[in-house]
Amino acid sequence: MSHEIHEHDVLVIGAGGAGLRAAIEASALGVSVGLVSKSLLGKAHTVMAEGGMAASLGNTDDRDDWKMHFRDTIRGGKMMGNWKMVEIFAKEAPDRVNELEEWGALFDRTEDGRIAQRNFGGHRYPRLAHVGDRTGLEMIRTLQNHGIHQGVDIYMECTIVELLMDGDRIAGAFGYWRESGKFVIFKAKAVILATGGVGKCYRFTSNSWECTGDGQALAYRAGASLVGMEFVQFHPTGMIWPPSVRGVLVTEGVRGDGGILKNNLGERFMFNYIPEMFAAETADTVEEASRWLEKDPNARRPPELLTRDVVARSIRAERLAGRGSPHGGAFLDIASQRSPEYIKRKLPSMYHQFKHLGNLDITKEPMEVGPTCHYIMGGVLVDPETAGSDVPGLYSAGEAAGGLHGANRLGGNSLTDLIVFGRRAGQYAAEYAKSLKSSIKISDAQLKQVEKVAIAPFEDSGKENPYQVFQDLQSCMELNSGIVRVKSELETCLVELEKLKERAAKVKVEGNRHFNSGWHYALDLRNLLTVSEAISLSALHREESRGGHTREDFPDSTEKFEKVITIVKEKGGKMTWKHEPKSEMPEELKELLA
Partner 1 sequence: MKEVTFRVFRGDKEKGELKEYKVPLSEGMVVLDAIHEIQATEANDLAVRWNCKAGKCGSCGAEINGKPRLMCMTRMDVLPMDKPVTVEPMKRFPLVKDLVTDVSWNFEVNKRIRPLKPQPRQADGTHRMMQMDVERIQEFHKCIECFLCQNVCHVMRDHKITDFIGPRFLIRCATLVMHPLDTENRLRELKDDFRIGYCNITKCCTEVCPEEIGITDNAIIPLKERVAGAFYDPLAWLWRLLTGKKADQRT
Ligand X SMILES: Cc1cc2nc3c(=O)[nH]c(=O)nc-3n(C[C@H](O)[C@H](O)[C@H](O)COP(=O)(O)OP(=O)(O)OC[C@H]3O[C@@H](n4cnc5c(N)ncnc54)[C@H](O)[C@@H]3O)c2cc1C
Q: How far is the CB of 179 from partner 1 (least distance, A)?
A: 5
CA 29 to the chain's CA centroid: 28
CB of 517 to partner 1, least distance (A): 6
Among 1, 5, 106, 495, binds partner 1 (CB under 8 A): 106
Instruction: Give the count of residues interacting with ligand X (CB under 6 A).
Output: 44
**Angstrom distance (rounded) from CA 113 to CA 445:** 60
Minimum Å distance from CB 238 to partner 1?
11
* Site for ligand X, residues 171 to 230, rule: CB under 6 A: 194-197, 206-207, 210, 214
CA-based nearest residue to 120, from 337, 415, 319, 386: 415
User: From CA 93, how far away is CA 116, in angstroms rounded?
Assistant: 15
Task: For the CB of residue 52, give the shortest distance to ligand X in the complex, in Å.
Answer: 5
- Please report whether residue 96 would count as binding ligand X according to CB under 6 A: no
Report how far apart, in Å, the C-alpha atoms of 59 and of each of 109, 121, 523 are: 10, 18, 47
What is the secondary structure of 119-179 as a DSSP string? --TT-SS--EE-STT-HHHHHHHHHHHHHTTTT-EEE-SEEEEEEEEETTEEEEEEEEETT
Residue closer to partner 1 by CB (options 39, 314) is 39
Asked about 8 being catalytic, the answer comes back as: no
Scan residues 44-63 and list those touching partner 1 (CB under 8 A). 44-45, 47-48
**510: closest CA among 519, 500, 499?**
519
Q: Residues 235, 423, 503, 546: which is the catalytic one?
A: 235
Closer CB to ligand X, 230 or 524, in the complex: 524
Interface characters, 135-174, with partner 1 (x: CB under 8 A): --xx--x---xx-xx----x-x------------------
CB of 330 to partner 1, least distance (A): 19
Q: How far is CA 11 from CA 187, 193, 220, 400, 425, in A?
A: 8, 9, 18, 15, 11
Return the residue of 11, 12, 24, 49 that touches ligand X, per CB under 6 A: 49
Active site residue 255: yes
Considering only 113, 297, 572, 581, the residue that binds partner 1 (CB under 8 A) is 113
Cβ atoms of residues 308 and 237 within 8 Å = no
Region for residue 387 given its phi and psi (left: phi exceeds 0; alpha: psi -120 to 50; beta: otherwise): left
Catalytic site residue from 123, 146, 255, 301: 255
Considering just the CA atoms, what is the radius of gyration of the chain in Å? Answer: 23
Q: Binds 412, which of ligand X, partner 1, none (CB < 5 to 8 A, cut-off by type)? A: ligand X
Distance CA 13, CA 34 (A): 8
Contact indicator for 190, 430 with CB cutoff of 8 Å: yes
Shortest distance, position 465 Cβ to partner 1, whole Å: 7
Q: What angle do CA 554, 559, 560 make, to 5 degrees?
A: 80
Angle at 370 (CA atoms; ends 367, 374), nearest 5 degrees = 115
**Measured in Å, how far apart are the chain's first and last C-alpha atoms?**
61
* Interior angle at CA 324, CA 276 and CA 554, nearest 5: 45
Cis peptide before 242 (omega within 30 of 0): yes
CA distance 35 to 380: 19
Residue nearest to ligand X (CB): 16
Kindly state whether residue 297 participates in binding partner 1, applying the rule CB under 8 A: no
Q: How far is residue 497's CA from residue 484's CA, in Å, rounded to a whole number?
A: 18
Considering only 114, 291, 541, 579, the residue that binds partner 1 (CB under 8 A) is 114
Select the residue interacting with partner 1 from 4, 5, 103, 364 (CB under 8 A).
103
Which does residue 104 touch among partner 1, ligand X, none (CB within 5 to 8 A, set by kind)? Answer: partner 1
User: Which string of b and e fits 264-299 if b means at least 16 CB within 10 Å?
Assistant: eeeebbbbebbeeebeeebbeeeebbbbbbeeeeeb
One of 6, 10, 17, 363 touching ligand X (CB under 6 A): 17
**β-sheet bridge partners, residue 129:** 53, 117
- Using rule CB under 6 A, residue 19 touches ligand X: yes
Q: Is 237 an interacting residue with respect to ligand X (CB under 6 A)?
A: no
Q: Which helix (DSSP H) or strand (DSSP E) does residue 290 occupy?
A: helix 286-293
* Site for partner 1 contains 515 (CB under 8 A): yes
**Binder of residue 230, out of partner 1, ligand X, none (CB less than 5 to 8 A by kind):** none
**Out of 128, 249, 305, 310, which residue is the one contacting partner 1 (CB under 8 A)?**
249
Min dist. Cβ of residue 497 to ligand X (A): 20
Q: How far is the CB of 322 from ligand X (least distance, A)?
A: 30
**Closer CB to partner 1, residue 43 or residue 485?**
43
Q: How far apart are CA 494 and CA 500, in angstroms?
A: 10
Q: Residue from 244, 285, 336, 558 that binds partner 1 (CB under 8 A)? A: 244
Nearer Cβ to partner 1, position 48 or 420? 48
Transcribe 435-501 into DSSP letters: H--SPP---HHHHHHHHHHHHGGGSTT--B-HHHHHHHHHHHHHHHSSSSB-HHHHHHHHHHHHHHH
Which is nearest to 315 in space by CA: 331, 336, 333? 331
Judged by CB under 8 A, the stretch of 261-269, 373-381, 467-475, 485-493 that binds partner 1 is: 467-475
Options 2, 298, 359, 438; binder of partner 1; rule CB under 8 A: 359
Binding site for ligand X (CB under 6 A): 13-19, 36-39, 44-46, 48-53, 135-136, 159-160, 194-197, 206-207, 210, 214, 249, 374-375, 398-400, 411-415, 418
Please give the positions annotated as active site: 235, 255
Binding site for partner 1 (CB under 8 A): 39-45, 47-48, 98, 101-104, 106, 108-109, 112-115, 131-132, 134, 137-138, 141, 145-146, 148-149, 154, 156, 179, 208-210, 241-245, 248-249, 349, 352-353, 356-359, 465-468, 471, 509-512, 514-519
